[in-house]
Chains A and B, each alone.
Chain A
Amino acid sequence: MSHVFLVETAFTLLLVGAVVSLVLARRRKLCGWTSFAFITVSAITIGGVVVDTFRTGGEPEVVLLQLPLLGASWTIVIDQLSAFFLAIAATIGVLSTLFSVDYMTHFGEDTVAKFYPVLLVFFASIIGVLVTSDFLFFLVFWELMTLTSFFLVTFERESATSQRAGRKYFIITHAATLCMVAGALLLWKDSGSFHFPAMRYALGTLLSTRPIIGHLVILLLLLGFATKAGVLPMGDWLPDAHPVAPSGMSAMLSGVLVKLGIYGLLRVFCGFVPISHSLQAWGIVIALAGTASLFIGTLTALMQADSKRLMAFHTIGQIGYICLGLGAGLYCLPTAPTLAALGLMGALFHAANHACFKACLFLGAGAVLYRTGERDMDKLGGLGESMPVTAASSTVASLSIAGVPPFNGFASKWLILVTCMLVGMTSPLFLLLGIVGLFISLATLASFLKVLGAVFLGQPEEGSEVSEVPLTMAVPQAVLAALCVLLGIFPQAPLRFAHTALANLSSVDLPPVHELLGGPWGLTLTVSGHTVGLWTPLAAVAALALLGALAYGIQRAGAARVRQVDVWTCGEEERAAIVRYPASSFYLPFKGAFHGIYPTLRVGIPSFPPSLRKVLDLDRWLYLPAAKAVERTARYVGRTHTGIPQVYLLWIVVGALAVMFAGLLLVR
């Protein structure tokens, strides 16, 4: 079966599923299971397309709809880059829907008619974004995605916070979309078409004939995609919107939606912008923006006490890493294809990894929220014993995001940072950025140690009856955690996919993958014949296991006694929950030092000076006075109508005399 047919099938399934789940909305769980079934089947369909694309390469594009009026046509083509992101979307989509089946039962007030149908359309629009190769229709799906995700973010109708966050999200990202509209139209003006290849050609011509306009177009597209990706300062919507969405949706937002911003950036910068020195400048811009995001985002995350908000800030931070890798890769693309390949592959790999661990973390936070009703980490604690699966998955994901070996976060961050260092040999700026990224990794670790410590460790509240979440919620977390481990131990496979995607996209010949990464077990980075980096996860795992066994053996051999004592609270008797070390007490010096580092934008209702309002009110100073004047004049004239015959006779006589006089004058 052709790819397009499969994509159409997935589309149809999702739209039918939306209608079916709308009909079933009165029965929460049934509706959830139905939606899950529809999403799973369409995800499997998409999975078939993905696998086939990587095995055989893409198929030629297919035109579904023509719009000759604008030179637009809805064309579908699935290349390896689309397939890479489709794989991410399908995985996260299925798992977070499964998670939602039980999760959505705890919203008593709000009907799931607002959730599942919209979620299915949201998923369909994501697929639409990824398979469309015409900018007008791309924008249509893009905005459909924004609008459906808006309704998912504002799911809790009566919560003012979520309404405000949703509004902010929609308005900021709509502004970004309008930037993209402007950029696309500027290209259309020259090419007369919205088709990707035509736009690529137009941009190339524009950059050589009218470079200012060309760079303006690139800037507009960059703004559009970076906003969605959550790059600061435009990504300000993210820390508000992520926490208020239902957790399954937060996982989708952070795992998939912001990734599509990265997808767009890759399309534009690797696909559209011709290889030139200006690409290097844009690489620096992206890398700087990425570093700013990872610095500010992660340090702000360190100060948060709300678990989901904290993770949202980390999304900004991790997107920063992706952009750093992307920027470094783009910077090298014209001069050093090997380094470029490493940077871009690192970025792409990190995007996939981030989807896994961040979705896992959001689902973990959601599981805690489901059982305790709390996102405030100051009020949580000691859940590790009662929620072992959640705790274990969250721990794995936390270590992954912090870049601890042998998890997947390490492999991709390592690639990105190694690239930065290597680029830094010739341009010191990247060395600096790499060092910042390296140390911020530490802040990430610190921040997640806080989460783990505050939520899962410590003494539980006496008499608390928190238990593990149901299987449907535990399984997605466990699967994602397992993915974190697997991708970390076997980084070759995803990196090969990333390489194919990039090699197909870019006009530069990237070195073949076996030269870049070496053999199948681990990564051997080779630049111009020299091995510059080596990472063998299996050896590391073996060493870790060995050391762990050794430590355990020593402990057993030494037979050290373990004493259980109560916390000493100066002789006072306090409940365990009171004397727990709360999340907000962590890293107080940091909070002081970096307070106010995060820029927020506030926009109020525009107010106009009253004088302007008066000027604009034409009724007041123009029409009503004019009408009054007419009325006055009429009254004045009306006074001549007295109703007395003598007066009328007088008028007649006066008139007759006047006429006669005038006649005499004329005759003479």
Chain B
Amino acid sequence: MLTTALVLAVAVPVLGALIAAAVPARPARWSAMAAAAVAAALAIRAVVTAFPGVYRSGLGGLPWLGAQVGHGLIGVLIDPLSSVLLLVVVVIGLLTVIYSFQYVSEANRDHSVMPQDQRRYYLWLLLFVASMVGVAISPNFLQLFLFWEMTTLCSWALISFYRNEQSLRAGFKALVMTHVGGLFFLLALLVLFTQTGSFDFAALARLSEGPRASVFLCLMIATWAKAAQVPLHTWLPDAMEAPTPISAYLHAAAMVKAGVYLMARSVSSGWAMPLGTGYALGAMALLTILVALSCYFVQDDVKRLLAYSTISHLGYVLLGVAMGALGSVEGFRGGVLHIVCHGFSKALLFFCAGAVAYTTGVRSISALRGLGRSMPLTAVAFFIGVLAVTGIPPFACFWSKFMLFAGALQLPGPSGPILLVVLLGETLIAFAWMLYVAQRVFLGAPSPAAENSQDPPLAMSMTLVLLMIGSGIAPVIGIPLVELIGR
């Protein structure tokens, strides 16, 4: 029963995608929404049913690969970790589709989209939803890898959606860089399979010391590429050429989270990450956080600023994962919780940026001023997003960041307090800058670009409101799930 639901959660969006591609724009939108809603309902039901246990079921296999992987190579898995990703993916996916109803239309002042192109949009978007669901419910590395590469493909198509030179270039760059990561993933798979004869997550722990380090290293590079971590972070700011709902969904809430999910999964399957790689992961995460922070101050495009913020927050998640590898379960849970919290709040911020671009056609921070009067709802949403994402209580990211801070102190030796000081400093500076930007854009006397602006139409406003609520209650959903990890 649960298996059927999960398989359907993958199949229905695929079906919806095919329908959307085949029919005219108007029914395409509705079929997309129906498919996303059904997938969300099925996935949520599956998560609720499986909670608080683990559900695993095999569907079939490739017998010629060998006895050990003969069956159960293709299947479904629901445990707290995958539930976290699954919930983020389906809920924000549905909201993205709803938001796109009006954003991806001819009325958009930033980029108007003709009806015939909208079909292409929903095709790729729903394929992406399906592949992300696939990533979340994969019971082993092989299936995970297949869906993983599908997300890369969808990301390429969606970044290049506008088909102008910049977006084609950005899409190609993203494809190449994330695919390089994918190749490292493949390498890791090959080593794992030749050494243990299995693709299971648990097989990582069965590796001997040397190969294990190299497998983890390869997985780490794959993660860095997918989650836009230093040194492979440069594709993400360029990917902001994509339509804003895509930036919100793929490049803040979902696809980049697949990267950190891979790492979280690898680390938590047996907690077998070698200490050296753990330290490397943590150090690179910290470096990413700081490098991304240093880029805040020179950004003029709202979306690029948000992209750097995303990079830095993915660094937080990976830092939490690294803490888990180094023995601090609290930090690991904080990192996983951050997936949910950051997903909602960053999607909210992107949707606000999209609403501003939709009504004014401008994304430049320096050209926008005083939008609060004409767009009160967007202003409130943006402020809540800023407060949520920078970790001001009682909003979402405070709770995950707090757990990360607490996790840092559980680390052995002096690294904990030093880490705490750095993280608190980063939090303060990032908060100060984001607050500054929010005040600049939404308060003050209106600039010429702000004239004739207004709050977005109903569907977009509704998603803003829902995400505002989500930015408040994300921890309520996330904490019961992450509590189960590492028990």
Interface residues of A (CB under 8 A from B): 67-70, 113, 136, 139-140, 142-144, 147, 154, 157-158, 160, 163, 166-167, 170-171, 174-175, 178, 181-182, 185-186, 188-189, 605-608, 612-613, 616-619, 622-623, 627
Taking A147-B392, A163-B439 as given, write out 13 further A-B residue pairs in contact, using a Cβ cutoff of 8 Å, ordered by the A residue number: A70-B402, A70-B406, A139-B393, A143-B394, A158-B444, A167-B435, A167-B439, A170-B435, A174-B428, A186-B417, A618-B231, A619-B234, A627-B176
| Cβ–Cβ contact B435 & A157, under 8 A | no
Shortest Cβ-Cβ A-B pairs, 6 listed = A140-B393, A143-B393, A178-B424, A189-B409, A171-B432, A619-B234
In the complex, how many angstroms separate the beta carbon of B453 from the nearest chain A beta carbon? 15
Which listed residue, B373, B392, B403, B427, touches A69 by the CB 8 Å rule? B403
18 contacts between A and B (CB under 8 A): A67-B479, A68-B483, A69-B330, A69-B483, A143-B394, A154-B439, A157-B443, A157-B444, A158-B370, A178-B424, A182-B405, A182-B424, A185-B409, A185-B420, A605-B297, A608-B297, A618-B233, A627-B176
Q: Which of B207-255 contact A (CB under 8 A)?
A: 230-231, 233-234
Q: Is B431 an interface residue (CB 8 A)?
A: yes
Which listed residue, A143, A182, A185, A619, touches B392 by the CB 8 Å rule? A143
A266 to B233, CA, bound (A): 48
Interface of B is mostly: helix
A136 to B298, CA, bound (A): 35
Residue in B closest to A622 when the chains form the complex, CB atoms: B231
| Cβ–Cβ contact B479 & A178, under 8 A | no
| Cβ–Cβ contact B435 & A185, under 8 A | no
A622 to B230, CA, bound (A): 13
Q: Which of B388-406 contact A (CB under 8 A)?
A: 392-394, 398, 402-403, 405-406
Q: B interface, how many residues as a size bin? A: 35 or more
| Cβ–Cβ contact B435 & A160, under 8 A | no
Which listed residue, A70, A171, A189, A606, touches B403 by the CB 8 Å rule? A70
Which residues of the partner chain A approach B370 to less than 8 Å between Cβ atoms? 157-158
| Cβ–Cβ contact B297 & A606, under 8 A | yes
Which residues of the partner chain B approach A140 to less than 8 Å between Cβ atoms? 393-394, 398
Which residues of the partner chain A approach B112 to less than 8 Å between Cβ atoms? none
Q: Is B372 an interface residue (CB 8 A)?
A: yes
Residue in A closest to B237 when the chains form the complex, CB atoms: A619
Q: Is B445 an interface residue (CB 8 A)?
A: yes
Residue in A closest to B333 when the chains form the complex, CB atoms: A69
Which residues of the partner chain A approach B233 to less than 8 Å between Cβ atoms? 618
Q: Which of B349-405 contact A (CB under 8 A)?
A: 370, 372-373, 376, 387, 392-394, 398, 402-403, 405
Which residues of the partner chain B approach A144 to less than 8 Å between Cβ atoms? 393-394
In the complex, how many angstroms separate the beta carbon of A149 from the nearest chain B beta carbon? 13
Which residues of the partner chain B approach A147 to less than 8 Å between Cβ atoms? 387, 392
| Cβ–Cβ contact A69 & B435, under 8 A | no
Which residues of the partner chain A approach B297 to less than 8 Å between Cβ atoms? 605-608
In the complex, how many angstroms separate the beta carbon of A2 from the nearest chain B beta carbon? 25
Which residues of the partner chain B approach A606 to less than 8 Å between Cβ atoms? 297, 429
Which residues of the partner chain A approach B428 to less than 8 Å between Cβ atoms? 171, 174-175, 178
Which residues of the partner chain B approach A163 to less than 8 Å between Cβ atoms? 439, 443-444
| Cβ–Cβ contact A181 & B234, under 8 A | no
Interface residues of B (CB under 8 A from A): 176-177, 230-231, 233-234, 291, 294-295, 297-298, 330, 333, 370, 372-373, 376, 387, 392-394, 398, 402-403, 405-406, 409-410, 417, 420-421, 424, 427-429, 431-432, 435-436, 439, 443-445, 479, 482-483
Which residues of the partner chain B approach A174 to less than 8 Å between Cβ atoms? 392, 428, 431-432
| Cβ–Cβ contact B431 & A158, under 8 A | no
| Cβ–Cβ contact B295 & A616, under 8 A | yes
Which residues of the partner chain B approach A139 to less than 8 Å between Cβ atoms? 393
| Cβ–Cβ contact A188 & B294, under 8 A | no
Which residues of the partner chain B approach A627 to less than 8 Å between Cβ atoms? 176
Which residues of the partner chain B approach A616 to less than 8 Å between Cβ atoms? 291, 294-295
A616 to B237, CA, bound (A): 14
Residue in B closest to A71 when the chains form the complex, CB atoms: B406
| Cβ–Cβ contact B372 & A157, under 8 A | yes
In the complex, how many angstroms separate the beta carbon of A30 from the nearest chain B beta carbon? 20
Interface hub of B393, B403, B428, B439 (most chain A Cβ within 10 A)? B393
Which residues of the partner chain A approach B294 to less than 8 Å between Cβ atoms? 608, 612, 616
In the complex, how many angstroms separate the beta carbon of B138 from the nearest chain A beta carbon? 27
In the complex, how many angstroms separate the beta carbon of B482 from the nearest chain A beta carbon? 7
| Cβ–Cβ contact A185 & B394, under 8 A | no
A613 to B317, CA, bound (A): 25
Which residues of the partner chain B approach A67 to less than 8 Å between Cβ atoms? 479
| Cβ–Cβ contact A158 & B445, under 8 A | yes
Given known contacts A67-B479, A69-B403, A163-B444, A171 and B409 CB-to-CB distance under 8 angstroms: no
Which residues of the partner chain A approach B402 to less than 8 Å between Cβ atoms? 70, 136, 181
| Cβ–Cβ contact A178 & B427, under 8 A | yes
In the complex, how many angstroms separate the beta carbon of A615 from the nearest chain B beta carbon? 10
| Cβ–Cβ contact B482 & A69, under 8 A | yes
Residue in B closest to A175 when the chains form the complex, CB atoms: B428
A296 to B482, CA, bound (A): 50
A617 to B291, CA, bound (A): 10
A181 to B424, CA, bound (A): 9
Which residues of the partner chain B approach A171 to less than 8 Å between Cβ atoms? 428, 431-432, 435
Residue in A closest to B369 when the chains form the complex, CB atoms: A158
Residue in A closest to B429 when the chains form the complex, CB atoms: A606
In the complex, how many angstroms separate the beta carbon of A225 from the nearest chain B beta carbon? 17
In the complex, how many angstroms separate the beta carbon of B289 from the nearest chain A beta carbon? 13
| Cβ–Cβ contact A185 & B405, under 8 A | yes
Interface hub of B291, B406, B479 (most chain A Cβ within 10 A)? B406
Which residues of the partner chain A approach B424 to less than 8 Å between Cβ atoms? 178, 181-182
Residue in B closest to A627 when the chains form the complex, CB atoms: B176
Given known contacts A70-B402, A154-B443, A186 and B409 CB-to-CB distance under 8 angstroms: yes
Which residues of the partner chain B approach A618 to less than 8 Å between Cβ atoms? 230-231, 233-234
In the complex, how many angstroms separate the beta carbon of A263 from the nearest chain B beta carbon? 18
A136 to B475, CA, bound (A): 15
In the complex, how many angstroms separate the beta carbon of B198 from the nearest chain A beta carbon? 33
In the complex, how many angstroms separate the beta carbon of A116 from the nearest chain B beta carbon? 15
Residue in B closest to A125 when the chains form the complex, CB atoms: B394
In the complex, how many angstroms separate the beta carbon of B167 from the nearest chain A beta carbon? 17
In the complex, how many angstroms separate the beta carbon of A137 from the nearest chain B beta carbon? 9
A186 to B417, CA, bound (A): 9
A432 to B402, CA, bound (A): 44
A612 to B403, CA, bound (A): 32
Which residues of the partner chain B approach A170 to less than 8 Å between Cβ atoms? 435
Residue in A closest to B425 when the chains form the complex, CB atoms: A178
A616 to B292, CA, bound (A): 10
A174 to B430, CA, bound (A): 12
A185 to B420, CA, bound (A): 10
In the complex, how many angstroms separate the beta carbon of A274 from the nearest chain B beta carbon? 23
| Cβ–Cβ contact B409 & A160, under 8 A | no
Which residues of the partner chain B approach A185 to less than 8 Å between Cβ atoms? 405-406, 409, 420
Residue in B closest to A605 when the chains form the complex, CB atoms: B297
Which listed residue, A158, A167, A175, A178, touches B436 by the CB 8 Å rule? A167
Which residues of the partner chain A approach B291 to less than 8 Å between Cβ atoms? 616
Residue in A closest to B390 when the chains form the complex, CB atoms: A174
| Cβ–Cβ contact B444 & A160, under 8 A | yes
In the complex, how many angstroms separate the beta carbon of B248 from the nearest chain A beta carbon? 24
In the complex, how many angstroms separate the beta carbon of B472 from the nearest chain A beta carbon? 11
In the complex, how many angstroms separate the beta carbon of B106 from the nearest chain A beta carbon? 33
A649 to B231, CA, bound (A): 46
A627 to B402, CA, bound (A): 41
In the complex, how many angstroms separate the beta carbon of A319 from the nearest chain B beta carbon? 24
Which residues of the partner chain A approach B482 to less than 8 Å between Cβ atoms? 69
Residue in A closest to B432 when the chains form the complex, CB atoms: A171
Residue in B closest to A186 when the chains form the complex, CB atoms: B409
Which residues of the partner chain A approach B298 to less than 8 Å between Cβ atoms? 613
A167 to B438, CA, bound (A): 11
In the complex, how many angstroms separate the beta carbon of B4 from the nearest chain A beta carbon? 33
A608 to B372, CA, bound (A): 31
Residue in A closest to B406 when the chains form the complex, CB atoms: A185
In the complex, how many angstroms separate the beta carbon of B375 from the nearest chain A beta carbon? 12
A174 to B333, CA, bound (A): 25
A305 to B398, CA, bound (A): 41
